[in-house]
């Protein structure tokens, strides 16, 4: 009788161990805090400024405001363009929404041959340095990156690149 009780206790312990490790260890999918879902359009001109329309998912619990932003476009290490945010952009919390991003842009004359490459889908040699000032829940933060290949960003956002 003692042997049977031991086997039952061992079997119950193994069952509890198995159930404990499988039920509490469920698969967790990583959810990005911010995600650019699509680039929906670009309107405007160099003289009046540009308006970039994006669909952005803000999966955080706070409204996020981009208060300032600037980017420097480089081709093989040389500056060819400067883009700056021309107003504040608000991203509503826990929502996927269309957002209009007002921009000012200036380019050097060296951009003309590069525009032909971009139209053909060739983004090699182009990099971008950017800096964003973000406010959420009364806290300010600056996000910046240097020398990010434009080709990598295009693949990440699924722009039409020629293979």
Residue 163 lies in a domain: no
For the chain, the domain total comes to: 1
Is the pTM higher than 0.75? no
18, part of any domain: no
Contact predicate 110/80, CB 8 Å: yes
- Residue 93 counted as domain residue: yes
CA atoms within 13 A on the CB side of 141: 10
Task: Give the chain's mean pLDDT.
Answer: 78
- For β-strands 95-107 and 49-58, DSSP reports them as antiparallel
Range of the domain at 125: 34-156
Q: Give the position of tokens 């919390």.
A: 93
Asked if residue 111 belongs to a domain, the reply is yes
CATH of the domain at 89: 2.60.40
- 16, part of any domain: no
The reply to whether 122 falls in a domain is yes
* Segment 26-78, tens digit of pLDDT: 444 445 677 778 888 889 887 888 898 988 889 889 999 999 999 999 999 99
Name which of 103, 102, 111 is nearest 74 in CA terms: 111
């Amino acid at each position: 009788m003692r042997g049977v009780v031991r086997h039952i206790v061992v079997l119950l312990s193994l069952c509890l161990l198995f159930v404990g490790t499988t039920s509490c260890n469920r698969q967790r999918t990583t959810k990005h805090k911010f995600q650019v879902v699509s680039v929906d359009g670009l309107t405007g001109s160099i003289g009046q400024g540009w308006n970039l329309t994006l669909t952005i998912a803000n999966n955080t619990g706070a409204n996020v405001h981009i208060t300032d932003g600037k980017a420097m476009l480089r081709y093989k290490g040389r500056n060819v363009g400067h883009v700056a945010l021309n107003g504040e952009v608000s991203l509503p919390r826990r929502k996927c929404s269309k957002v209009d991003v007002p921009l000012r842009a200036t380019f050097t004359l060296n951009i003309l041959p590069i525009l032909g490459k971009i139209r053909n889908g060739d983004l090699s040699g182009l990099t971008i340095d950017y800096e964003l000032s973000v406010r959420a829940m009364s806290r300010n933060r600056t996000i910046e990156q240097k020398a990010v290949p434009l080709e990598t960003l295009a693949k990440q956002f699924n722009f039409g690149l020629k293979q």
